[in-house]
Structure 1
Amino acid sequence: MLFNSFPFLLGFLPVALVLHALVARYRPGWRLPLLALLSLVFYGWWDVRFVPLLAASVGLNWLVARGFSRSRPVLLIPLAVAANLLVLALFKYAGFLSGLLGLDLPRLSLSLPLGISFFTFHHVMYLTDLRAGRAPPMDLTRYALYIGFFPQVLAGPLVRWSEILHQFDEAPYARPDAAERIGRGVMLLCIGLSKKVFLGDPLAAYANPVFQAAAEGKAPSVVEAWQGTLAFTFQIYFDFSGYTDMALGLALLFGIVLPQNFDVPYRATSLREFWRRWHMTLSRFLRDYLYIPLGGNRRGLGLQLAALFATMTLGGLWHGAGLTFVAWGAAHGAGLAAVTLWRRAGLSLPAGLGWLLTFGFVVLTWVLFRAASFEAALLVFKGLFGFAPVGHGFKWRALLPAALVALAGPTAWAAVHRLPPRPWLALAFGVLIVVVLLRIGDDANYEFIYFQF
């Protein structure tokens, strides 16, 4: 089920909310098992074959955590983390690695389970913190809900156990701010849907033909290259931040506060700031579970630069089994290393120039992220840098409002906390959800971009 689909919005969600409300009122002890069951139903709706994989992943990792809590064998958790990463590699990278290494192996034809990268990283975070003595043991129901909670199981945000575990024992409808939370949850869901449907999806019609033509060896004109690249720049932002807004809103409706994932990243005035604002929970994961263990900034400048480069390169590989993703991550690693050297030298830039350079760098590197191959990326780059016919007919109708909202507007989270509770506001959001539903019924729905990762 897509969040932006009738089966979810008019079927699963209303039924889940009614069941949750009844259980929370009359059988509060059943609330967590119900949420875990609803999450399995939601996950299985995509492909029931993957439910055993998620269930086995949860069960085996919980048994590892339980075994470690009892006797603390030294190698148990490192082996479990390695096993989780091996399963991820089997599904996501087996074909890529065999081709890269030139191995003549039988080609594996494995469907990529949705959300496997995200729930694998949740296992890694919890097991690593448990081994370090930071995380407490959980019972199976709580662990299953931490890993598989349906608003975030497919594409995040990446949630630390410490951010969610204490909320499982709350009585969400007994809180004094329960009605306010529900109202904000509904508003976040509406805003996220609107960002996806009205801003992100229309930009796909600008970006997809350009990159598809490049994949087929057709060089785009200068106008087409810039149109397609800028369109994808804003499409991926509204697609993913819209999903996150929906996830945060849905979680609030069930009494759970999830961490924010975006903070107007395209207003960043440095690449370092961009990564503090873009996919914030992934950036935090990479910092705490990869960059710092690799040495961070504690063991000299040379190791710090190497750790930055390695962390971002691996972050690029996490996004997709392709060398273009690796190159995208490596480019950001090199960019962050350059920013570190610039700061170490005591140099600075005017904020406007810093924003221009940062935004330009991010836009150009999105080409590597989106292109099907290096050859396709090169054709787009040729257009961007003027080594192609100029072309004509730049389409701006969907780009202009998207750019204004992304660059000047507040985050959805900030907006719903600033809006006053008023009857007219409820009416406005009621009208908005009707318009969104009509749009969903009228147009083809696009899957969320990050579902493939």
Structure 2
Amino acid sequence: MLFNSFVFLLGFLPLALALHGLVERFAPTWRLPVLAGLSFVFYGYWDWRFVPLLGFSILLNWLIAEAFQKTRVGGLITLAIVLNLAVLALFKYFNFFADLAGMIPGLPAPKLDLALPLGISFFTFHHVMYLTDLRRGEAPRYDLVRYALYIAFFPQVLAGPLVRWREIMHQFDERPYLRSDAAERIARGLILLTIGLAKKVLLGDPLAEYVNPVFAAAAQGQAIGPGEAWQATLAFTFQIYFDFSGYTDMALGLALLFGIVLPQNFDTPYRSISLQDFWRRWHMTLSRFLRDYLYIPLGGSRHGLPLQLWALFATMALGGLWHGAGLNFVAWGAAHGVVLAIGVLWRRAGLPMPQLLGWALTFLFVAFSWVLFRATSFDAALAIYKGLLGLNPAGAGFKWRALLPAAAVAIIGPTAWAMAWKLPPARWLAVVTAILFVLVLFKIGDDANFEFIYFQF
């Protein structure tokens, strides 16, 4: 079920909160099993056929972790990580690699018609983080219920944030509603949930009307005029931000309602003055995952400049492939890797970069690269790029009304995280939050609900 749907907001969530509250008060030892059960119900609402996959994935990884704790055979962890990645590759990348193989004359290219389980990339990476840290001697043992809840916790199981075990596991043993700040945390959770909904429904979704028709026309081979190309590119730049950061705000807010604090995932990324700065602000938990579990193992910055540049490029290219099984995603990641490497060389050379120029160049590059992320093929991306560079004849005009407020909020801020945690408790804030929530409900009732963009990854 979608966070931005009546069935979740007016059905599942109130019932889940009521059940959790009753259990927390009268049978606190059942709190974690109930939360885990609710998470499986939430996940199964999408497609019950994938619940056994999630359950088996949790059980198998936990059993291997248990065996490792007893034997200290590192090969068990390697086996578990390989199995996790193999399952991910089967569902998400089999046809992609089959298409690549099909480019070789005479080589058969079988296809599998498999539906992609929602959230498989995210819960696979959670397994990898815990297992890797377990082998390093950093992670402790957890019982099956706690491990299941870490993997399947419903606010973040489908699209993150990517939560390290050390950021969440200790919170499972708390009595969240007995804390002195329990009421304040619930209030801040409601604020995060409401602002996230508003960002998605009121700012992100309207931009789809500026994006989808233009990219659909490009996919059909039509020439895209400069106005349409810039409209679609800028609109998608802000749409994906409000869509994904809005989801994250909702996830953080929902977790707070159940007594769990999840890490911040966005920090006004479109104010970045360099691409390195951008990746410290955009999908921050993924950036940390790529740094700690890919970039550093590939060599990082401690083994000479050539290896550092290669590690950057390889990390971002693989990060692009993680986002989607397509060469356009690999190209998107590779482009980021190349520009990050250029940034390293620029800083090493001690060359100046005025902040305003750095911001403009970073924003333009990020916006241009989003075309590869959104386009369904290289030909469609090329059609958009031709329009952006003025190589196509003028077409329809440039729509801007929905872009202006989106750009102002995205670039100027403030973030939902800052508003939720820094604003002092006040009655006027409660009233404003309630009014905004009602407006969002009316908007959800009037319009078609758009699925979150990152659900496809």
- Band of TM-score, shorter chain: over 0.9
- 2:92 is matched with which residue? 92
Q: How far is 1:416 from its partner?
A: 1.4
Deviations 1:10-64 (A, max 9, x none): 0000000000000000000000000000000000000000000000000000001
CA distance in 1, matches of 2:397, 2:444: 28
Q: How far is 1:392 from its partner?
A: 4.3
SS in 2 for 1:101: helix
1:360 aligned to which of 361, 364, 375: 364
CA distance in 1, matches of 2:223, 2:322: 29
- Are 2:167 and 1:163 aligned? yes
CA distance in 2, matches of 1:419, 1:66: 44
CA distance in 1, matches of 2:110, 2:345: 46
CA distance in 2, matches of 1:123, 1:268: 31
Q: How far is 1:107 from its partner?
A: 1.3
Q: How far is 1:362 from its partner?
A: 0.3
Structure 1 window deviating more from structure 2 (7-16 vs 408-417): it is 408-417
- The letter of the residue matching 2:216 is Q
- 2:402 is matched with which residue? 398
Check whether the contact 2:270–2:410 (CA below 8 A) recurs between aligned residues.
Answer: yes
CA distance in 1, matches of 2:78, 2:303: 24
CA distance in 2, matches of 1:106, 1:85: 20
1:199 aligned to which of 198, 203, 208: 203
Within 5 A, what are the aligned runs for 1:133-172? 133-172=137-176
Aligned length: 453
CA distance in 1, matches of 2:310, 2:126: 26
CA distance in 2, matches of 1:166, 1:412: 25
CA distance in 2, matches of 1:412, 1:106: 46
- 1:218 is matched with which residue? 222
- Kindly report the root-mean-square deviation, in angstroms, between the aligned alpha carbons of the 2 structures: 0.7
CA distance in 2, matches of 1:392, 1:35: 51
CA distance in 2, matches of 1:188, 1:199: 15
Q: How far is 1:75 from its partner?
A: 0.7
Within 5 A, what are the aligned runs for 1:242-321? 242-321=246-325
CA distance in 1, matches of 2:424, 2:345: 45
CA distance in 1, matches of 2:119, 2:225: 37
2:444 aligned to which of 440, 443, 447: 440
The alignment's TM-score, normalised by the length of structure 1, stands at 0.99
CA distance in 2, matches of 1:445, 1:54: 26
Q: How far is 1:105 from its partner?
A: 3.5
- The letter of the residue matching 1:84 is N
- 1:117 is matched with which residue? 121
- The letter of the residue matching 2:304 is G
CA distance in 2, matches of 1:259, 1:58: 22
SS in 1 for 2:290: helix
Check whether the contact 2:101–2:108 (CA below 8 A) recurs between aligned residues.
Answer: no
- 1:62 is matched with which residue? 62
CA distance in 2, matches of 1:393, 1:355: 27
Check whether the contact 2:98–2:110 (CA below 8 A) recurs between aligned residues.
Answer: no
CA distance in 2, matches of 1:222, 1:211: 13
- 2:42 is matched with which residue? 42
Deviations 1:205-258 (A, max 9, x none): 100001010001011100000000000000000000000000000000000000
CA distance in 1, matches of 2:434, 2:396: 41
CA distance in 2, matches of 1:220, 1:393: 11
SS in 1 for 2:74: coil
- 2:4 is matched with which residue? 4
Q: Mind listing any 5+ residue stretches in structure 1 that lack a counterpart? A: none
SS in 1 for 2:409: helix
CA distance in 2, matches of 1:157, 1:196: 16
CA distance in 2, matches of 1:125, 1:400: 40
- The letter of the residue matching 1:5 is S
SS in 2 for 1:277: coil
- Using the aligned pairs only, state the percent identity: 73
CA distance in 2, matches of 1:209, 1:104: 36
- 1:71 is matched with which residue? 71
- The letter of the residue matching 2:350 is G
The alignment's TM-score, normalised by the length of structure 2, stands at 0.98
Q: Mind listing any 5+ residue stretches in structure 2 that lack a counterpart? A: none
SS in 2 for 1:57: helix
- 1:129 is matched with which residue? 133
- 1:228 is matched with which residue? 232
Structure 1 stretches of 4+ moved >2 Å: 390-393
- The letter of the residue matching 1:51 is V
Q: How far is 1:101 from its partner?
A: 1.8
